[in-house]
Structures are given as structure tokens and as C-alpha cells.
Amino acid sequence: MRRTGLRTCAFGLLSVMGVWVAGCGTFVEAARTPAQVIKVTPVDGAKRVPAGEKLRVSVVDGTLKRVRVTLRSRGARHELPGRISRDGSAWLPEERRLRLGSKYAVDVVAEDADGRRAARHTTFTTKPQPRRVIGFFTPEHRQTVGTGMIVSIKFNRPIENRAAVERAVRVSAKPQVRVAPHWFGDSRLDFRPREFWKPGTRVTLDLRLRGVRAAPSVYGVQRKRVHFDVGRDQRSVVDAGRHMMTVQRDGTVVSRVPVTAGSTKNRTYEGHMVVSEKFEVTRMNARTVGFGGEYDIEDVPHAMRLTESGTFLHGNYWAPRRTFGRANVSHGCIGLHDKKGGDPRSAAGAFYRSSLVGDVVTVRNSGERTVAPGNGLGGWNMPWQEWTAGSVLD
């Protein structure tokens, strides 16, 4: 049965093998996966974690080299202080209790006795604070973004009084341009101008939610002003039919990169997509996006999220190099040639370094429908008149 509404990467390798064949029938045990080497609690993807649960990072038969834990609480982003033990086997945070209403991201690099490195990225969220509304916003304060950035606010609970909340949120730009809101359901509010931002624009988000009644007995707690700057104008067009991506910067073509896109069974969405997150390495598990156990790769390099449903543009080291520019073999992602561990000199590595959150990637000639406006930062696929109609205010 064809699955709809779901996109993730396609892999020539369908599962992580337990052994590698090494000449004349000799079997050699494969290196352990990052999840087997690096242990993180709470577990990856955990939701509604209580404040009393312990955050801990440890390594099996190796040493921790770098641990970075960030959390988004009340819409702001913080790096959590902590320390690695003297023997390098564990990391513990300075804060003993988790913060309610927060999203945690854990990035770990470890090394074994032979100098082999493993990297792992996990996330989890904690229980919402009782009777409080918090808006988690994108992008971050003082971030430099691409010209396709859409300001997106996700609330930790449904908003019944959307008019009051919308009045309490303002997005402005310098040089001045009209910025309009649009509700996606009752817990997400996005803002964008009619056209892509101009390079050099400074955008300010005013959250004046403190004391605002969002629902019966539920009130906002934030009073915050943040700004971000729009950098150079980089736009990339993926022609899935020709297996080629053309990258333009400030109107000039700077590169053409061979790619592999979604297969005929699982085509890549067409339309405008926006880079919303960047990961030097991340795990991609088919079960999380409705493809069963077809793949589970824990070290996908140079990955950039394009949709919430799982479309990424990422490095691919498992497909033969001749695949790129010649065939579409993925489950919907866009793959660029890379090496295991991520090669900064590869096509994927070079594109990753040159990209910003907020850059636009447009897909054409895949044969799939246009990505939904609410799937990731896909609002550029909605006509302006329809976008402005998504406000609850006159």
C-alpha cells in the first residue's frame, strides 16, 4: 500500500548489518552502532518526561569527548552546564531536575581505544507546566538565516482564545515590509512576508504573552523580544527528473550538484521547502515515518531537515557513487554523495557548510504533489491571499 504524507530518506542499504563479509568467506564482527556505544537517558524521542527523571550520558568501552545539551524553555534556547567524569565514562548536568515545558537536545561525540569516533543526537520533551502557555519559536535569537525563513511559534497546549494570543504577538522588519500571521490548527502560529526576505533585513519578534488568557484558567507567561538577521540569498533548485541540484547565491549560479531523489514508489515532494534544522550527524529510522523496519541508519551525515514529515537533504555514503546524477532511489529525501563519518570536502559537506537555516530548496519534476504549507516551513507554497486569510483578526 502506498503511504501518503510521509517522506524520509531512501537507502540502498535496508538495515544495519550485524556482520561484514571480509574475503574468502571470513566473517568479521561489525563496529557497534552509536546507540550501542553512547547511552542517553531519557531515551530518544521520549515525551512528557517528569522533572524528577535523571538526565545522564555515558559511554561503553570508550571515553566521552564532547557533550552538548541544549534546551528550549519558554521559547528561549539555553545550553545546559555539566561535566564529564575524570575517567571520561559519564556526563552529568549541574541541574538535578529537568525543566518542565522544555525540549532537550543531546549531542555526543565519543571515542574508543583505537581512536574510532561515534556521534549521537537525541531529543526528548518534558511535561508542560500546569495551566501555562509557552510558545517555542523559530528561528533563535540573534541567528543569521536564509531569505526563506518563516517565523513559527508552536504552543505547548491548544489555544482557545486565538484572537487574544495573535494580538499579543508581533513580527516587524527593518527595512519595513508587511508581515502577516497564519494559524495552522490551534497550537501553531506562523509569520511571513509576501515575498522572500531581502538580504540584510532585521526581523524582530515581540512575544507579549504574559498574563494573556489563552484558554479557561490558562495564561501566557512570556514577555520576550528577539531578533534575527537575514543573510545572503541562497536558493537551490532540485530537478528530480534530471537528478541535479542547481545552487544560486545572490542570483548567480555557484554550483550544480548531482543528487538522488525519491524513487517512483516514494517520490520527493515538489514545491518550496525551507531548511529548518541542521545536524552534522543524525539517526534516520524508518519506523518513525511509517516505513516499518526498512532501514535504521544512526550516522547519517550533513543532514538538513526540509519537512516535519521526514524529508531531509543529507549526505549519503551507502549508495554507489554512480547513483548520484543518474538514478532516484530514496524514500523521498534528497541525497548528496558523502563518506561515512561525513567528509567536509564531499558534495554534501560543502553544501552543508554553505547553507543556513532558512535557505530555500525547491523541488521540481519529481511527479509528486506539492508539499503542504504546514509541513515544515512550507508556507511559501500558499498564495498570499490565502495566507492572510489564516489570521483570526480583521
pLDDT of residue 6: 43
Give residue limits of the domains in the chain: 34-126, 133-232, 234-380
pLDDT number for residue 27: 34
pLDDT for 130 equals 76
C-alpha–C-alpha distance, residues 124 and 344, integer Å: 29
Using 50, 70 and 90 to split pLDDT, how confident is the model at 172? very high
DSSP-derived pairing of the beta strands 213-215 and 296-305: unpaired
With bands split at pLDDT 50, 70 and 90, how would you rate the model's confidence at 294?
Answer: low
Percent of the chain past pLDDT 70, that is, above it, reads 89
Q: Outline where the chain has alpha helix (H).
A: 34-37, 162-167, 347-354, 384-388
Q: Three-state SS for 28? A: strand
Residue pair 167/393 in contact (Cβ under 8 Å)? The answer is yes
Reduce the DSSP state of residue 189 to 3 states and report it.
strand
Torsion sign over Cα 6, 9, 10, 12? negative
Tens-place pLDDT, residues 15-37: 333 333 333 333 334 567 788 88
Cα Rg for the chain, rounded, in angstroms? 22
Lowest mean pLDDT among 51-55, 115-119, 263-267: 115-119
**Residue 1's pLDDT band (boundaries 50, 70, 90)?**
very low
Distance in angstroms (rounded) separating the CA atoms of residues 11 and 323: 11
From the list 243, 314, 331, 337, the catalytic residue is: 314
The answer to whether 151 touches 191, Cβ cutoff 8 Å, is yes
Q: Choose the catalytic residue: 121, 182, 331, 333.
A: 333
Predicted confidence at residue 217, as pLDDT, reads 87
Which CATH number is associated with domain 133-232? 2.60.40.3710
Whether 133-232 and 34-126 are alike in CATH topology: the answer is yes
Q: Which residues pair with 257 in a beta bridge?
A: 245
182 is catalytic: no
% of the chain beyond a pLDDT of 90: 75
Average confidence (pLDDT) over 149-172: 97
CA–CA distance, 254 with 247 (Å, rounded to integer)? 6
As a whole number, mean pLDDT of residues 339-357 equals: 96
In CATH terms, the fold of domain 234-380 is L,D-transpeptidase catalytic domain-like (2.40.440)
Task: Tell me how far apart the alpha carbons of residues 278 and 355 are, in angstroms, rounded to a whole number.
Answer: 9
Q: How many helices (H) and strands (E) does the chain have?
A: 4, 31
C-alpha 225, offset from chain centre: 23
Yes or no: say if 173 and 193 are a contact pair by the CB < 8 Å rule. Answer: yes
> What contacts 287, CB < 8 A, 6 or more positions away?
293, 296
Identity at 250, one-letter amino acid code: D
The domain defined by 34-126 folds into: Immunoglobulin-like (2.60.40)
Would you give the distance in Å from CA 42 to the centre of its chain?
A: 20
Retrieve residue 206's grid coordinates.
515581540
pLDDT at site 34:
83
The pLDDT value recorded for residue 95 is 87
- Does the annotation count 24 as an active-site position? no
pLDDT above 90: residue 10 = no
**C-alpha count within 13 angstroms, C-beta hemisphere, residue 212:** 23
Where residue 284 falls among pLDDT bands split at 50, 70, 90? Answer: confident
pLDDT at res. 51: 87
pTM for the whole structure: 0.73
Q: Point out the least confidently predicted range of 35-44, 197-206, 316-325.
A: 35-44
State pLDDT tens for residues 176-195.
999 999 999 999 999 999 99
- In the numeric block, which cell numbers belong to residue 380? 511559501
What is the overall mean pLDDT for the chain?
89
Instruction: Supply the pLDDT for residue 292.
Output: 61
DSSP 98-160: PPTTEEEEEEEEEE-TT--EEEEEEEEEEPPPTTEE-EEEES-TT-EE-TT--EEEEESS--S
Closest CA to 179 of 144, 153, 160: 153
Helix (H, G, I), strand (E, B) or coil at 261: coil
**Residue 121 near residue 107, CB atoms below 8 Å:** yes
CA dist., res. 355 & res. 363, Å (int): 17
User: What pLDDT band is residue 324 in, cutting at 50, 70 and 90?
Assistant: very high
Given its phi and psi angles, is residue 292 left (phi above 0), alpha (psi -120 to 50 degrees) or beta? Answer: left
Q: What is the pLDDT of residues 208-249, one digit of tens each?
A: 999 999 999 899 989 999 999 999 999 999 999 999 999 999
What grid cell was written down for 293? 523496519
